[in-house]
């Protein structure tokens, strides 16, 4: 795991020392992604420079250093991530291409040999792993960027002046001389709506994220052309392929197949020359990954969890029970409001781009705790998206069917009626009617869930319903100066999927997963020089999941049925069966309590006016309603706070 950066400028405009000094400064801005080593490579005649920061995981010797040149001398690479099947590729290359001799044991050397043997596209399609690659072809004078299939590792790019610039984070690009890109108001509006900037945009005008499963090539001769990334893998292709060869075995065979596949995906992610552990929340996905690690480990696996002082949010007891059953070496950290307050000022810098998933706070702190003992950690990320784990996956189908039976005008009227009742009145109703409520509303924060439900009643398509369910602000133009309410960005290729649940799972996997979940984990872990790996995000697991019938994922009104059956082999159901909570934090009370002075400063009329991105009046009104407990607006205030903190901390 590392940090990469570089640029391609018009040839001979900078000397070799100038190229190296510039790219070194860019790499130093993300040194936490790779504190163990640094190096750069440049070619003055072509105007190319590559920079690298190393977090040594495999082959800790100098033979694993980057930038690395291929055996023939044709290619130079900087690479962030891991290719887990490199031992198999190494054996294939040694046996079928007899001239290949490897100097060390790194996966980087195997990547270069595979590219020389098969070509870059064919080689990348063989890789099992997470990666962001920058490859310079000295023969063709061409720079190629590649990002892994699901977007686990980040990669930004764009033009700065007359140079093509790229990096693992925006910080590196911002260090390039002459960087002056303005804030993209459309991206800001989308960030306010979803809590993140959707790919391929970034918060800056002219800077993009390379889409998952894509590659992009540029040469000194086409620096100013419109860039057109090419996909080497796509969710659409995966789903169409799965439809041609659906799983036809029985339930027991499917359970066995998933167990075997996940066991292998976990095993190859346990390969490291440094200590490793696992994030354990006590939920289904992390418990399964922990179990699969423990049965394949000769010593107790190191497990890490985080709890809360507020009892309604503390689920550390569940993680503790799973850890005890599996016999792991368990560590807990209790997150207090004081520790949250101490971490909040760091958030804007850690996340590099405005980002507003409130669970970023405990994620950063549990990563910091784990880093004291390990350099690599596994997680259960991806299980919800692949196997139907979100409430919307099994509740959305029922909701849409119900909505279709009611005229849209009546639905809109109902939405207005619900919205007209003050939240404190709804809370009184809920508190007095707990026994009569459906299970979907008995979960945490029922008033907020009812409000979100009411907001979807005017939807005209399943995609619009999904977008409304995941939106924090449905009309960002109400608060973002100069922004319009862009159409919801959740298009699905025509004829790809008919089932509403599958459509929502597709949208989660192509939007929420790479732009929220994976960003949250990557930035938090890399900020403390910790590598995170998720077996569920092995593309072989994803492709198998899409071959399975939906009935193996959703059953009896609940999701992840088949995952639970695998987990039952290792952990008793009573240790993990409970309503889904997610990595929730008591942000509403923190904002009224220990975080109030910090938030009040960022949301002051003077600061909002001076920064000029938001309209102060509606935000101040919302803030006061939240403080007065008349509304619970933490989910809508948090994106504004995160942007304000970010813009104040360039």
131 dihedral zone (left: phi>0; alpha: psi -120 to 50; beta) = beta
Nearest-angstrom CA–CA distance, 211 and 43 = 28
pLDDT for the residue numbered 104:
84
- Which residues lie across from 35 on neighbouring strands? 54
Q: Which of 160-169, 415-424, 628-637 has the lowest mean pLDDT?
A: 415-424
pLDDT for the residue numbered 443:
52
- Domains belonging to the chain, first-starting first, are 2-233 (3.60.20.10), 239-388+514-575 (3.40.50.620), 586-650 (no CATH)
Q: Is the pLDDT of residue 221 over 90?
A: no
A 10 A CB-CB count for 613 gives: 18
Nearest-angstrom CA–CA distance, 152 and 520 = 11
Q: Which whole-number Å values give the CA distances from 188 to 23, 211, 489, 610, 619, in the listed order?
A: 29, 19, 14, 17, 15
Query: Which of 166, 141, 148, 152 is CA-nearest to residue 227?
Result: 166
pLDDT for the residue numbered 440:
44
Nearest-angstrom CA–CA distance, 4 and 171 = 11
Q: Which DSSP string corresponds to 291-357?
A: HHHHTT-SSPPEEEEEEESSTTT--HHHHHHHHHHHT-EEEEEEE-HHHHHHHHHHHHHHTSS----
* pLDDT one-digit tens code per residue, 336-364: 778 878 888 889 889 999 999 999 999 99
The contacts found for 567-574 with CB under 8 angstroms, 24 or more apart, are 567/284, 567/287, 567/288, 567/291, 569/259, 570/288, 570/291, 570/292, 570/295, 570/326, 571/287, 571/288, 571/291, 571/322, 571/325, 571/326, 572/325
Tokens of 571: 């952990």
Tokens of 82: 């891991």
Give me the residue label for tokens 């109030």: 596
Kind plus residue range of the DSSP H or E element containing 502? helix 500-507
pLDDT for the residue numbered 57:
85
3-state SS, residue 513: helix
Q: For the chain, give the mean pLDDT.
A: 90
Query: Which of 136, 141, 176 is CA-nearest to residue 158?
Result: 176
According to DSSP, the β-strands at 214-218 and 230-231 are antiparallel
Query: Which of 573, 551, 555, 556 is CA-nearest to residue 564?
Result: 573
Q: Is the pLDDT of residue 319 over 80?
A: yes
* pLDDT one-digit tens code per residue, 426-474: 556 655 554 444 444 445 556 666 667 777 887 888 888 898 899 999 8
* pLDDT one-digit tens code per residue, 570-588: 999 999 887 655 556 788 9
Mean pLDDT (whole number) for 266-295: 95
pLDDT for the residue numbered 227:
84
pLDDT for the residue numbered 398:
86
Mean pLDDT (whole number) for 611-619: 96
Nearest-angstrom CA–CA distance, 451 and 443 = 14
- Of these ranges, 58-62, 377-381, 627-631, the one predicted with the greatest mean pLDDT is 377-381
Nearest-angstrom CA–CA distance, 317 and 310 = 13
Q: Which of 12-16, 192-196, 311-315, 333-337 has the lowest mean pLDDT?
A: 311-315
Nearest-angstrom CA–CA distance, 524 and 70 = 32
* pLDDT one-digit tens code per residue, 231-242: 999 999 999 999
């Amino acid at each position: 795991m590392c940090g990469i950066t570089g640029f391609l400028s018009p040839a001979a405009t900078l000397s070799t020392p100038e190229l190296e000094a510039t790219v070194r400064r860019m790499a130093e801005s993300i040194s936490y992604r790779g504190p163990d080593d640094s190096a750069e490579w440049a070619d003055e005649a072509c105007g190319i420079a590559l920079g690298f920061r190393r977090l040594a995981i495999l082959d800790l010797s100098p033979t694993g250093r980057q930038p690395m040149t291929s055996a023939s001398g044709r290619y130079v690479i900087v690479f962030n991530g891991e290719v887990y099947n490199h031992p198999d590729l190494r054996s294939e290359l040694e046996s079928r291409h007899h001239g290949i001799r490897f100097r060390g044991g790194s996966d980087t050397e195997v990547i270069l040999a595979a590219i020389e043997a098969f070509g870059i596209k064919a080689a990348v399609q063989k890789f099992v792993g997470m990666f962001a690659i920058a490859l310079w072809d000295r023969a063709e004078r061409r720079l190629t960027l590649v990002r892994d299939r699901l977007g686990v590792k980040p990669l930004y790019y764009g033009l700065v002046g007359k140079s093509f610039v790229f990096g693992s984070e925006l910080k590196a690009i911002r260090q390039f001389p002459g960087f002056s890109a303005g804030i993209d108001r459309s991206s800001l509006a989308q960030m306010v709506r979803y809590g993140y900037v959707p790919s391929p945009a970034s918060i800056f005008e002219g800077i993009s994220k390379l889409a998952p499963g894509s590659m992009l090539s540029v040469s000194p001769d086409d620096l100013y052309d419109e860039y057109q990334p090419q996909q080497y893998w796509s969710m659409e292709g995966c789903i169409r392929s799965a439809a041609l060869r659906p799983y036809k075995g029985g339930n027991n065979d499917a359970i066995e197949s998933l167990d075997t596949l996940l066991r292998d995906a976990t095993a190859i992610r346990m390969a490291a020359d440094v200590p490793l552990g696992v994030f354990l929340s006590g939920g289904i996905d992390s418990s399964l990954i922990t179990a699969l690690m423990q049965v394949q480990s000769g010593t107790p696996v190191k497990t890490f969890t985080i709890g809360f002082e507020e009892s309604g949010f503390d689920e550390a007891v569940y993680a503790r029970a799973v850890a005890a059953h599996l016999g792991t070496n368990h560590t807990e950290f209790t997150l207090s409001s004081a520790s949250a307050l101490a971490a909040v000022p760091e958030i804007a810098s850690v996340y590099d781009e405005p980002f507003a998933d409130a669970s970023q706070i405990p994620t950063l702190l549990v990563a910091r705790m784990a880093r004291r003992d390990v350099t690599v950690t596994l997680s259960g990320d991806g299980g919800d998206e692949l196997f139907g784990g979100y409430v919307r996956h099994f509740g959305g189908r029922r909701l849409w069917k119900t909505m279709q039976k009611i005229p849209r005008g009546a639905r809109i009227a109902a939405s207005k009626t619900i919205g007209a009742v003050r939240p404190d009145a709804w809370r009184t109703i809920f508190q007095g009617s707990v026994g009569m409520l459906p299970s979907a509303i008995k979960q945490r924060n029922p008033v907020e869930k009812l409000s979100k439900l009411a907001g979807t009643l005017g939807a005209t398509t399943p995609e619009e319903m999904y977008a409304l369910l995941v939106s924090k602000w449905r009309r960002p133009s109400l608060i973002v100066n100069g922004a319009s309410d862009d159409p919801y960005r959740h298009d699905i290729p025509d004829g790809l999927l008919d089932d509403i649940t599958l459509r929502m799972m597709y949208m989660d996997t192509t939007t929420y997963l790479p732009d929220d979940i994976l960003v949250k984990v990557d930035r938090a872990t890399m900020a403390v020089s910790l590598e995170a790996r998720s077996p569920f995000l092995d593309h072989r697991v994803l492709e198998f999941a899409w071959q399975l019938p939906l009935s193996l994922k959703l059953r009896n009104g609940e999701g992840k049925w088949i995952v639970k059956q695998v987990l039952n082999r290792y952990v008793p159901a009573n240790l993990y069966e409970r309503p889904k909570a997610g990595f929730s934090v008591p942000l509403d009370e923190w904002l009224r309590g220990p975080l109030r002075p910090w938030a009040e400063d960022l949301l002051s009329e003077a600061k909002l006016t001076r920064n000029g991105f938001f309209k102060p009046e509606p935000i101040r009104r919302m803030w006061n309603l939240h403080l007065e407990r008349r509304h619970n607006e933490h989910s809508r205030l948090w994106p504004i706070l995160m942007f304000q903190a970010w813009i104040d901390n360039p």
